[in-house]
Structure 1
């Protein structure tokens, strides 16, 4: 059994700066900097990550997925995986690492496939632990500079829209322009 991924390390930076949001809004004063920063961060949170509208990470971030049992193939539900580390708790409860040469990472239609080499024999696991195997992975386009321009524009446009219309209700559809900007990058596993 696989458990739902949890984010363990947030992105080190936002895809866009406060100054970029202010230029887009346009706002030429500092009194609303905290408000605009909050709206930018809310726009990023709404779009970004495994649970966001995009279904993928923009700026590199680390997630962890736990499993109850060994499997030769493990599907990660996101694209753009930059690195993978696989650890497990052995019979004595001591954390062990699977050597990199036993792990291969392949993008597939349903996300990313992490495969363990046939030469890797499955060690015994800690019996009283419901999820002794951990797959930690870093995913995203990389740094903020690596995020596609359309996604940066979508973050700025969404933050600016919320700034201009502060009575917007949760659950409202994305503005049409934002939807069009993110559509080519939206990830939906089939």
Structure 2
């Protein structure tokens, strides 16, 4: 079964780390505008967060959509943790249909989250478009307060590296990379 790349549907609400906290924690030149610092903070968060982030997981709650060419008894989702999912499809008549939530469950194993269809679910005839099945999923720790502090420290370390007298590469922060391995998506 083929699948599309996940697309962000609803971005996280609020900020992971306030600009005031960042200013207190990093060596930010006082003559630089706040917009520069905010841009670097945003870049550091994007480096870690979401489908394309190096952690392969969502930090704050956000909603993503992914499309599939069909159904299988179990469909692997792109994030470690998914708290809920809604599944829809376009049937052979070209009409959009929703799968009742009692016909599937969202589960997790060592590889991450997946949707498992219960035995009562009968695979419907699908429209002949490329990706007639859509899964909309909610993923993330919750609010900024729920995100582990170690991840917030990593964001601060990345931001600080950008303003050091001897700037380092973002991906060349061995202590940060080492600390982040416990939060990474594992693909077996």
Q: What are the ranges of 5 or more consecutive residues in structure 1 without an aligned counterpart?
A: none
CA gap 1:17/1:181 in 2 versus in 1, 3 angstroms: farther
Partner of 1:175: 173
CA gap 1:59/1:30 in 2 versus in 1, 3 angstroms: farther
For residue 104 of structure 1, give the secondary structure of its aligned residue in structure 2: strand
Residue pair 2:29, 2:163 contacting (<8 A) in 1 also: no
Partner of 1:12: 13
Query: 1:96-118, CA deviations, whole angstroms, 9 ceiling, x for partnerless residues?
Result: 11011111111112211201111
Partner of 2:107: 106
Partner of 1:55: 56
Residue pair 1:88, 1:97 contacting (<8 A) in 2 also: yes
Query: 1:38-68, CA deviations, whole angstroms, 9 ceiling, x for partnerless residues?
Result: 0100000111112211111111111111111
Partner of 1:149: 149
User: Structure 1 segments of 4 or more deviating over 6 A?
Assistant: none
CA gap 1:60/1:166 in 2 versus in 1, 3 angstroms: farther
Partner of 1:161: 161
The Cα RMSD (Å) is 2.0
Relative to the length of structure 2, the TM-score reads 0.90
After superposition, where does 1:76-87 map in structure 2 within 5 Å? 76-87=77-88
Number of equivalent positions? 187
Higher mean C-alpha displacement, 6-15 vs 44-53 = 6-15
Aligned partners of 1:23, 1:2: CA distance in 2, in Å? 47
Aligned partners of 2:186, 2:36: CA distance in 1, in Å? 31
Aligned partners of 2:162, 2:92: CA distance in 1, in Å? 52
For residue 22 of structure 1, give the secondary structure of its aligned residue in structure 2: helix
CA gap 1:98/1:54 in 2 versus in 1, 3 angstroms: same
Aligned partners of 1:17, 1:175: CA distance in 2, in Å? 22
How far is 1:77 from its partner? 2.5
Partner of 1:46: 47
Higher mean C-alpha displacement, 86-95 vs 30-39 = 30-39
